[in-house]
Structure 1
Amino acid sequence: MRLVGLVILVILPSEGFEMPRRVYPRLLEERSSDGRIAMRVHEGLTLNLRRATVAAPKVRVLEEENGKAVTQFYDGKDINQNLYEDEEQLATVELIRDQKGVSMRGLVGPHHRIQPMPVSERSEDDSVPHMIYKIEADDMLDKSLKTTERSGANITERAYGRQARVPDIIYVEVFIVTGKRHYAYYQQTSHLIWYACIMVNFANLRLAAVSSPKVKLVLVGLEKDEKEPYAVVTQDGYLFDELTIKEFQRYAVRRRTDFGRPDAVFLLSGYDVITIHNGQLTEAGLGIGFLSGICTDNYVALGEDKPGLFSGAHTFTHELAHLYRGQTCWNFNGNGYSMKGTYPGMMVSFERFCMGLVDNRANITIRNVTVEIATCKVMCTYTKRAYTRYNVRGYEEMMFQRKDDALDYMQCGDNKVCIQGYCVPKPPEVTDTTKIPEKVT
């Protein structure tokens, strides 16, 4: 670990505090016709849960015991057996039923987490009391590192699901490294694995808009790293993003075989991350990763996370999307199927892209989509039909906007496409790109 002395500009979060809420979740329907479980969390939220598969068949965990490196393997089937998801509510939870009742912990949506209360209190119907907390979410500077390096590595078709002649899903193997500030919170390694699975599956739900083929992240391992030789930390205890990610990249390349040769490696850090913005250091830089690094030696990203609180779930998703963005190295052994020359911007329409930026899609209409040529960012304008007591009609349409990086090979002008954040002339070999719609309704 390296120590540096720096002066930091602090940007305070703007959102107000939300009080925790006590709830008594209960089963409404044990099994529906499609195998789902209906769980009423409170009067305003019912989850329709289906089983989720997040862990690989074998999950490796690297750590040191008595000064010696040790690798242990955990059964993925045991890890996955209590994991459930609701793809509409963007919820991922562990659901356990025993003689004490039904308990759940994890994410009940993109902004709230749930956990059982450590008390023996029961409701009148014998439901287990839980607490729902709002996830602390600071404003994040969108920052990444560009790379033009291409290695010979391929993402291969893996047998986590049923084999298909033309696979519908690409499984991207993710390995997570955690430092002592993070992993020390978890009393048992199994708890750390569970927490990582919730983070990975939250990213899967947010990346569900990618299709042809679909992309699914799979947790293949973790490292509990006590020494963190790559961490560049200030005297005040902040992790400097750019220097750390470069050191971490070299570390991940050296440890690639130890990690099981995954497709992506993520540093989940218990430190607050700082970055340089407009010539000053600020805490607004929550994470950083390499653009399109997933098929190169730059297959790494990092993000801060308060252990146990899922504060880094959005950062984790965002940085892994940077790693995946624009990669063209998919080859599928044995079936003669290749995605070479096919890019995300060719497969995801602007409409689906914009819908993927909003959490609750009910009563949402996309009104306009534009691409900023200078930055290759997509600006989506929406209207939401919402009830109001101040309007005689009982409702009104509210307008709002969202902005994010364009996918590689999305159109940004006449015969131009976005490639790694730049609007450039479309390469002659590319003929099919996502076009900017004249009007979206």
Structure 2
Amino acid sequence: MFIISCSSKTLKKFLSSSERSIFSVQYPLHNPPYAYTQTSNYVNVYMEWKKDPSYDSIEQIHKSIELKPVVALKNIIAQEPSGCIPISAVSKRGIELGVPMKVARFLRLYPSIFEEFSGPKYNLPWFRLTREAVEIDREERRIYEDCRKDLRERLKRFILMSKGKVLPLKIIKGMQWYLGLPDDFLLYPERNLDGSFRFVEMEDGLNGLAVENEEKVWSAMQKSAMQRGVYSGGSMEAIEFQLFPSKGLRLRRKITYWLEEFQKLPYISPYEEFSHLDPDSDMAEKRVVGFLHELLSLFVEHSAERKKLLCLKKCMGLPQKVHKAFERHPHIFYLSLMNKTCTVILKEAYCNQSTIEKHPLLSVRKKYINLMKESVVILKNRRLSNRFVNQENLSLALDLDYVDEDSRERAKSSFHNSQSYVREACDN
């Protein structure tokens, strides 16, 4: 009945489209199979943000913003042959060093790290490192020497994830703190870099650093899956992300179903070519989530300010709405709103049985943070002692006032007595 009612032209179009859809899979494919993956079966996925105190209380993450200018000032003092500097040497470099206030006031906030004394000329304030800060600085330099290969490998992986395997130097310098690279890492390439790195001039006139690599690079997720025996290294194998739900977070049934299907998709390594992926597909989203997972696994605290990560969109080939990946996957990433900024935290790095490799510099930064906490105690004790001294001075002043009042009363009484004695003598 249906065929009779259709025109011959419509029937021919229907048969030709059906033939293509049914029989096209019998012929060799020119593109990878995941190029034909359907788009998301639940596009408008919205995950409710849930506050998690366990991630909001990680000191090395939320003190990192405060620690960065402290370490920058520490490096300036440590590089001086005399080991001390006048305040005039850094007073006008506050913006450059990321100091949020006057440099002198900032240095005085950390007496356990910076020791103030009067200089040899003009009685100006000078600063040097405390004995505890000097010891930690030596340990930090020793780690840089012993772990130079590890730091070089992290930088190489960071560049290999970019488009064309090259990054502008300004991007690398902007991420130095997160990668744990020393300030002079790029200033001495013959000592810190090997033959796989080369400095190039990019198309937009910027100086860049490129990496040449012919070996297979495995991501942290691939290594972990191989260790668990659930991945053999194939190009179309699925790797499920480790999920760490926050307490009290409940997902709707249709979102749970979408997440289960998302986990079954093939894993695309951030070191593999991705230009053939449909940007609106679940495969492209899984590649973006895998990229962010790998990127955060390279960082010292396995976290970063979200606005810093968004600056990598162009050079890393990320979609315009890459921030949606953090919101759609709260079991993988946590967004902390501490310190009046949004910080992205890789949850897997802070679980009890984490397979994410710890950064060698993390232990040193924790020691600096402990010194910063000691500074709070020192300043508090100073305020209490000053208050006690002020109270003593006030009591002494009140006592003196009381003594003076007694003296005045005695003098007044003796005066009246003398006047009475004079009057009595006159009357007689």
| TM-score, with structure 1 as normaliser | 0.21
Q: Select the structure that is richer in strand.
A: 1
Bigger-Rg structure (1/2): 2
| TM-score, with structure 2 as normaliser | 0.22
Q: Select the structure that is richer in helix.
A: 2
- Report which structure shows greater RCO (CA 8 Å, sep ≥6): 2
